[in-house]
Copies of this chain bind each other. A is one copy, B any other.
Amino acid sequence: MPQNLEQTLSLLARTPATLNALLRDLPELWTFRNEGGDSWTAFDVVGHLIHGERTDWIPRVRRILEFGETRAFEPFDRLAQKRESQGKTLPELLDEFARLRAENLQELRAMSLSPSDLEKRGLHPALGVVTLSELLATWAVHDLTHFHQLSRILAYQYREAVGPWSKFLGVLQCNGHSS
């Protein structure tokens, strides 16, 4: 299936409102608890998405267009939000994410990428050669991976409250599929 830029944008544009509908003003039982150990809370996930807007997606698009395969992407810091979210509230993070995502999509649209631009190649520090098309598809699926994680983090808080129903609830069987 060829990736269609408009279809990708339609999904990326919805994420701030979806997070807002699910998380804003939700009790802290849901938003400030994790799945044990050093796993993430919903608050951490929103901080991680913010860091991606700042340092990952659009900077990598620019690097492909400017340098092609001759200069690898900067590695993505998956723990930056632990530092950057300190002292902020969840509504502040949701607002910040919405603003950054809107700015980034505006910048992406202004690039007026052509089908041949989408085939341009860049260099991922771990994965090797990737295309701009793959980068943009990954941006959208990365949002979906974190919806998937959010549903799991929230469900985890009720893993005992559901009693015997737990075996019928797929989200409670999910281990996160981390590689």
Contact = CB atoms under 8 A, between A and B. Distances in A.
Contacts of A169: 138, 141-142, 144-145
User: Which has the most chain B C-beta neighbours within 10 Å: A22, A141, A150, A177?
Assistant: A141
Interface residues of A, number: 60
A38 interface: no
One complex includes copies of this chain to the number of 2
Main secondary structure of the interface of A (DSSP, over half): helix
A52 to B, nearest CB: 13
Contacts of A177: 170-171, 173-174
A67 B173 CA distance: 32
Interface stretch (A3-11, A85-93, A100-108): A3-11
B26 A163 contact: no
Contacts of A22: 14, 18, 147
11 contacts: A3-B161, A18-B21, A124-B165, A133-B161, A134-B165, A137-B161, A140-B158, A144-B152, A148-B152, A148-B155, A173-B179
Interface of A: 1-4, 6-7, 10-11, 14, 17-18, 20-22, 26-27, 29-30, 124, 127-128, 130-131, 133-134, 137-138, 140-142, 144-145, 147-152, 154-155, 157-158, 160-165, 167-174, 176-179
